[in-house]
């Protein structure tokens, strides 16, 4: 079990799926529809969106996604991409605010590098 699963007290998946879901947050309205359909409950509301200035968005815990595609199928805004496993891990940080890989993807003001 990885540390993220331990933190959330959710079971880890049994094998590596061929594809993973990546939510392109620039198109996400935060409607939570995908959360309802995910069979392993691995889509989370991005921490910090409780702030009135922030639009609610969600992202996938890639360590737990089983690649079933249900979220992509039912997202009303068509903003979830099913990508090959390695490609998803590579591209997720560019599409998410606080990536599931534990990296920030938006560089702080005055910095050219993400932290
Ligand atoms: S269903 Fe689509 S728009 Fe709605 S929260 Fe999920 S990713 Fe965002
Ligand atoms: S592909 Fe399936 S398991 Fe992965 S986030 Fe979407 S609904 Fe959940």
Instruction: Break the chain into its structural domains and give their ranges.
Output: 3-95
Predicted confidence (pLDDT) per residue in 22-56, tens digit: 999 889 999 999 999 999 999 999 876 677 767 78
Largest CA distance in the chain: 42
- Radius of gyration of the chain, Cα coordinates, nearest whole angstrom: 14
Q: Is 65 in the pocket of ligand 2 (CB under 6 A)?
A: yes
Q: Give the residue, by CA position, lying nearest to ligand 1 atom 3.
A: 28
- Tens-place pLDDT, residues 60-113: 999 999 999 999 999 999 999 999 999 999 999 888 875 444 444 444 445 555
Q: Is 42 in the pocket of ligand 2 (CB under 6 A)?
A: yes
| Minimum CA distance residue for ligand 2 atom 4 | 65
Length of the chain: 115
Q: What is the assigned CATH class of domain 3-95? A: alpha beta
Which letter does DSSP use for residue 51 in this model? Answer: S
Q: What is the pLDDT of residue 8?
A: 62
| pTM for this entry | 0.78
Task: Quote the pLDDT of residue 99.
Answer: 47
- What pLDDT sits at residue 47? 74
Per-residue model confidence (pLDDT) at position 102 = 46
């Amino acid at each position: 079990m990885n540390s993220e699963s331990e933190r959330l007290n959710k079971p880890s998946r049994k094998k590596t799926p061929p594809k993973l879901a990546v939510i392109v947050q620039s198109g996400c309205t935060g409607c939570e529809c995908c959360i309802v359909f995910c069979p392993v409950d691995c889509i989370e509301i991005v921490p910090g969106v409780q702030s009135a200035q922030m639009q609610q968005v969600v992202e996938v815990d890639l360590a737990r996604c089983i690649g079933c595609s249900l979220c992509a199928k039912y997202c009303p805004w068509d903003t979830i991409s099913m990508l090959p496993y390695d490609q998803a891990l590579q591209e997720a940080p560019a599409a998410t605010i606080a990536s599931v890989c534990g990296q920030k993807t938006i560089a702080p003001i005055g910095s050219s590098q993400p932290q």
